[in-house]
């Protein structure tokens, strides 16, 4: 099953069991979504439950907030994270705060989904990542799906939660293949051990997990050490217990992220580890992130602006040698 098919199946399954689940966004109905995630749903559930909206992101999320207050379970799709900036007032000032400001009298069972990240020559205005801003907003749960099985189960559970969820996808993962265990009881808040190892803990999320996995062979061959790779899955809250258990074995932390390094999400992971797990560390943590530049259109420059498997392998190997590996 493809990543986008797993997301489609998750929405289909919850729409079938709960008539209060509705989908809204630009081209989600007749067109089936920009990345075909909502393909076929309007034929099954009709235009009252799969709603094509105008190109108006603030209105999409604002309407979803109103629907959630009124008792529905809306799943709002924003075409890309870059356009979500137009909806940040609704996300930050309304979606995240109504439960708290109403002393729990109002719940918002709603999901806002969008893809983000560097795709292929979409240039600066269509290649951003905003997990660092959204994960810093109290009241929002933030999931980031790399794995096909996780994408299915986490989205399904997100829609059935009674609190608002930001569900982040990556534009280059929609055609990723994987198996889905439909009978599994997956906890969407728990980090995923992608590969076990003994000497280096590499923490990542979204597409960078795949780039890390593509680099691990070179790292292990160069350093003659093994890497443990963790997919965070939930960016807020973070499963620090899984990170701590890994660091207890390895004593060395690397965080790999695609967004810009200054103010990037990985800084929060490193900060928490230094504050809470400092005495587990045998070396200073390493952060590998995107450059602090708008993402270029030129393909050569675009690849220079983000981590790639070769760069990840080179930087971890160099860091490992400097720190006794």
Q: What is the pLDDT of residues 76-127, one digit of tens each?
A: 999 999 999 999 999 999 999 999 999 999 999 999 999 999 999 999 999 9
- What is the reported pLDDT for 178? 97
Give the pLDDT band (50/70/90) at residue 275: very high
- What is the reported pLDDT for 18? 98
- What is the reported pLDDT for 141? 98
Please calculate the CA angle 315-321-323 and round it to the nearest 5 degrees.
100
Inter-residue contact 80 to 89 (CB < 8 Å):
no
Q: Which of 5, 26, 77, 126 is catalytic?
A: 126
Active site residue 57: yes
Give the pLDDT band (50/70/90) at residue 250: very high
**Mean of the pLDDT values across residues 9-33?**
97
Cα dihedral 74, 79, 83, 86, rounded to 10, equals -30
Give the pLDDT band (50/70/90) at residue 48: very high
Q: What is the mean pLDDT of the chain?
A: 97
Distance CA 59, CA 89 (A): 11
Give the pLDDT band (50/70/90) at residue 65: very high
Give the pLDDT band (50/70/90) at residue 230: very high
Give the pLDDT band (50/70/90) at residue 314: very high
- What is the reported pLDDT for 11? 98
- What is the reported pLDDT for 4? 98
* First vs last C-alpha separation in the chain: 39
Active site residue 153: no
Q: Which of 57, 77, 171, 257 is catalytic?
A: 57
């Amino acid at each position: 099953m493809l990543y986008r098919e797993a997301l489609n199946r998750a929405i289909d399954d919850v729409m079938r069991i709960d008539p209060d689940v509705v989908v809204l966004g630009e081209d989600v109905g007749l067109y089936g979504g920009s990345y075909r995630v909502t393909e076929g749903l309007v034929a099954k559930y009709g235009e009252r439950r799969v709603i094509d909206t105008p190109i108006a992101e603030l209105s999409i999320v604002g309407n979803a907030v109103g629907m959630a207050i009124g008792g529905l379970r809306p799943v709002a799709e924003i075409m890309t994270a870059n356009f979500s900036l137009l909806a940040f007032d609704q996300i930050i000032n309304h979606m995240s705060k109504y439960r708290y400001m109403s002393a729990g009298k109002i719940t918002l069972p709603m999901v806002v989904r969008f893809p983000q990240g560097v795709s292929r020559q979409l240039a600066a205005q269509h290649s951003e990542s905003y997990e660092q801003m959204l994960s810093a907003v109290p009241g929002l749960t933030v999931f980031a799906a790399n794995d096909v099985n996780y994408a299915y189960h986490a989205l399904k559970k997100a829609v059935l939660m009674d609190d608002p969820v930001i569900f982040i996808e990556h534009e280059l993962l929609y055609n990723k293949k994987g198996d889905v265990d439909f009978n599994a009881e997956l906890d969407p808040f728990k980090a995923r051990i992608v590969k076990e190892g003994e000497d280096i803990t590499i923490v990542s999320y979204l597409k960078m997990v795949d780039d890390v996995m593509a680099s691990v062979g070179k790292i292990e061959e160069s350093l003659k050490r093994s890497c443990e790779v963790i997919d965070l899955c939930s960016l807020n809250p973070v499963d620090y217990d899984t990170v701590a258990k890994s660091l207890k074995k390895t004593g060395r932390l690397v965080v790999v992220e695609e967004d810009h390094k200054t103010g990037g999400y990985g800084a929060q992971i490193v900060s928490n580890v230094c504050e809470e797990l400092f005495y587990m560390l045998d070396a200073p943590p390493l952060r590998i992130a995107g450059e602090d530049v708008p993402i270029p259109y030129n393909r050569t420059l675009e690849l220079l602006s983000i981590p790639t498997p070769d760069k990840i392998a080179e930087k971890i190997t160099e860091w490992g040698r400097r720190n006794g590996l």
